[in-house]
Amino acid sequence: MVEEVVVFGVWVSPYSRRVETALRLKGVPYKYIEEDLGNKSPLLLKYNPIHEKVPVLVHNGNPIAESLVILEYIDETCPQGFPILPKDPYERATARFGSKFIDDKCMPAITQACWGEGEASDKAVEEATELLMFMENELKENRFFGGERIGMVDIAANIVGFWLGTFEQVTGVELMTRDKFPNLTNWSIEFVRNNVIKENLPPREEMISYLRKKRSAR
Amino acid sequence: MAEVKLFRAWSSPFPLRIVWALEVKGIEYDMIYEDLSNKSSMLLQYNPVYKKVPVLLHKGKPISESLVILEYIEETWKSKTPSLLPGDPYQRAMARFWAKFGDDKILPLIWEAFIKQGKDQEEALIAAHENLKYLEVELRGKKFLGGETVGFADLTFGWLANLVSVFEEIAGVTLIDHEKFPLLLTWMKNFMDAPKIRETWPPRDKLINHFRALRETLIAKEPK
Q: Are A170 and A211 in contact (CB under 8 A)?
A: yes
Mean pLDDT (whole number) for B176-198: 97
Chain A to chain B Cβ contacts (< 8 Å): 59
CB A64 within 8 A of CB A76: no
Q: Pick from B89, B94, B97: which is nearest to A77 by CB?
A: B89
User: What DSSP state is assigned to residue A162?
Assistant: I
What is the C-alpha to C-alpha distance for residues A160 and A102, in angstroms, rounded to an integer? 9
Kindly list the residues from chain B whose CB atom is less than 8 angstroms away from the CB atom of residue A70: 93
A110, A102 Cβ separation under 8 angstroms: no
Mean residue pLDDT of chain A comes to: 96
d(CA B88, CA B96): 12
- The DSSP output letter for B222 is S
pLDDT of residue A2: 66
Q: Which residue numbers in chain A have pLDDT < 50?
A: none
Does residue A41 sit in helix, strand or coil? Answer: coil
- Please tell me what DSSP assigns to residue B201: S
Output the pLDDT for position A3: 84
Residue among A179, A143, A148 nearest A161 (CA): A143
Question: Which residues does B9 contact at the CB level (< 8 Å), separation at least 6?
Answer: B15, B33, B34, B35, B36, B53
CA dist., res. B183 & res. B186, Å (int): 5
**Per-residue pLDDT reduced to its tens digit, B17-40:** 999 999 999 999 999 999 999 999
pLDDT tens track for B2-20: 799 999 999 999 999 999 9
Note the pLDDT of residue B223: 82
**Distance, CA of A110 to CA of A96 (rounded, Å):** 20
Q: Phi first, then psi: what are they for B60, rounded to 5°?
A: 85, -5
- The H or E element spanning position A56 is strand A56-59
Q: Decide: residue A212, CB within 10 A, 0-12 exposed, 13-18 middle, 19+ buried.
A: middle
List B55's β-bridge partners, or say none. Answer: B7, B64
Q: Give the pLDDT score at A1.
A: 52
CA distance B126 to B128: 5
**Given this model, what pLDDT does residue B1 score?**
61
Q: Percentage of chain B with pLDDT > 90?
A: 96
Residue A133: CB partners within 8 Å, gap ≥ 6?
A180, A181
Instruction: For the sheet with B30-33, list strands across it.
Output: B30-33, B4-8, B55-58, B61-64
A91: closest chain B residue by CA: B72
Instruction: Choose among A50, A62, A72: nearest Cβ to B96.
Output: A72
A118 vs A124, A166, B148, CA distance in Å?
10, 21, 53
The verdict on B44 touching A (C-beta cutoff 8 Å) is no
Q: List pLDDT tens digits, range B49-105.
A: 999 999 999 999 999 999 999 999 999 999 999 999 999 999 999 999 999 999 999
Cross-chain residue pair B90–A69, CB shorter than 8 Å:
no
Q: A130: phi > 0 → left, psi -120 to 50 → alpha, else beta; which?
A: alpha
**Dihedral, CA atoms, B83, B89, B92, B93, nearest 10 degrees?**
170
Whether the CB-CB separation of A178 and A121 falls below 8 Å is answered with no
Q: Measured between alpha carbons, how far is B100 from A118 in angstroms, rounded to an integer?
A: 32
B209, burial (CB in 10 Å: exposed 0-12, middle 13-18, buried 19+) = middle
Q: What is the mean pLDDT of residues B192-197?
A: 96
Residue B65 contacts A where some CB pair is shorter than 8 Å: yes
CB atoms within 10 A of CB B133: 14
- Write the pLDDT tens digit of every residue in A16-54: 999 999 999 999 999 999 999 999 999 999 999 999 999
Candidate from A62, A73, A93 with C-beta closest to B71: A93
Closest by Cβ to A93, choosing from B63, B89, B93: B63
Using a CB-CB cut-off of 8 Å, the residues of chain A touching B89 are 73, 76-77
Rg (CA), chain A: 17
Q: Burial level of A143, CB count in 10 A (0-12/13-18/19+)?
A: middle
Write out chain B residues lying below 8 Å of A69, CB-based: 93, 96-97, 100
Contact A89 B68 (CB under 8 A): no
